[in-house]
Amino acid sequence: MKKMIWFTTISIIFLLFLMPAVMASVIKMIPAIDQPGYDGSSRVSIYGVYEFKQKFVSKYKNLVAVGTSIKNPNLANKKEIIFNLYNENNDLIRSVILSGKNIEDGDFVKFVFDKVDDSTDETYFFTISSPTSGPGEVIEVFLIKPTTEVIEYSYNKETKEGGAPLVTFHKPDSIWETIKLVYINWFSRLLSLGFQKTL
């Protein structure tokens, strides 16, 4: 009986405290924030000459990806979707090409690129375009009001505040940093749930 109790206790400790560390060992990038909520009715269409340009701030170092939700109804767009990343001086520093046939309607799409080292609190721009697609092959990007990361966007020769509900992703310097971040996030969520139950 005692052996069963010890086994159960050790199993619970492993699941609660060691599993996050095991999972963290295979994580290659960490999101800076949760994706902001968005109103599905506010969006812009991308095709042909109509590209979307976003100004944003990277809050952390080692920027390796930018993600946002994209509409591609009925997989209408099967053409190339081009993501270009620019620094504050509008110099092209990274470029990613995806195929529309791999993007389902409403998918959260991550554009992954080589690490940008010194990205802490730096301002960047990115564009999303699909130059070879026609009016019947549009993809759409959702829009939100400005946040500390999402500054402004340009579309069809107009610039407005806000932009895409984006998430930046960053590469930890080491596996130990990844484990630390996972535990911090895990404990903060547990504390948040505990606080909600007391209300």
State pLDDT tens for residues 10-50.
667 666 666 665 665 566 788 998 899 998 889 999 999 99
pLDDT the model gives residue 30: 86
In terms of residues, how long is the chain? Answer: 199
pLDDT the model gives residue 197: 47
Ranges 87-91, 133-137, 186-190: which has the least confidence: 186-190
How many CB atoms lie under 10 A from the CB of residue 60? 17
Domain region containing 69: 30-170
pLDDT at 149 over 80: yes
Distance of CA 46 to the CA centre of its chain: 19
What's the CATH number where 109 sits? 2.60.120
- pLDDT level of residue 173 (50, 70, 90 thresholds): confident
Would residue 80 count as lying in a domain? yes
pLDDT the model gives residue 81: 98
In Å, how far are 84, 114, 125, 175, 192 from 197, measured between CA atoms?
Answer: 44, 42, 41, 33, 9
Residue recorded with tokens 């699909």: 130
pLDDT the model gives residue 14: 65
pLDDT at 133 over 80: yes
Would residue 184 count as lying in a domain? no
pLDDT the model gives residue 179: 64
State pLDDT tens for residues 66-114.
999 999 999 999 999 999 999 999 999 999 999 999 999 999 999 999 9
pLDDT at 61 over 90: yes
Would residue 176 count as lying in a domain? no
Q: How far apart are CA 187 and CA 16, in angstroms?
A: 11
Would residue 40 count as lying in a domain? yes
Would residue 7 count as lying in a domain? no
Residue recorded with tokens 């946002």: 68
Close Cβ partners of 135 (under 8 Å, ≥ 6 residues apart): 47, 48
pLDDT at 154 over 80: yes
3-state SS, 38-72, equals: CCCCCEEEEECCECEEEEEEECCCCEEEEEEEEEC
Residue 125's DSSP bridge partners are 55, 86
Close Cβ partners of 177 (under 8 Å, ≥ 6 residues apart): none
Q: How far apart are CA 111 and CA 96, in angstroms?
A: 7
Residue 92 structure tokens = 């092209």
Percent of the chain with pLDDT over 90: 67
pLDDT at 183 over 90: no
Close Cβ partners of 42 (under 8 Å, ≥ 6 residues apart): 142, 143, 144
- pLDDT level of residue 172 (50, 70, 90 thresholds): confident
Would residue 18 count as lying in a domain? no
pLDDT the model gives residue 199: 47
Number of domains in the chain: 1
Would residue 194 count as lying in a domain? no
pLDDT the model gives residue 189: 62
Distance of CA 119 to the CA centre of its chain: 15
CB 164 within 8 A of CB 93: no
Would residue 135 count as lying in a domain? yes
Q: How far apart are CA 194 and CA 159, in angstroms?
A: 43
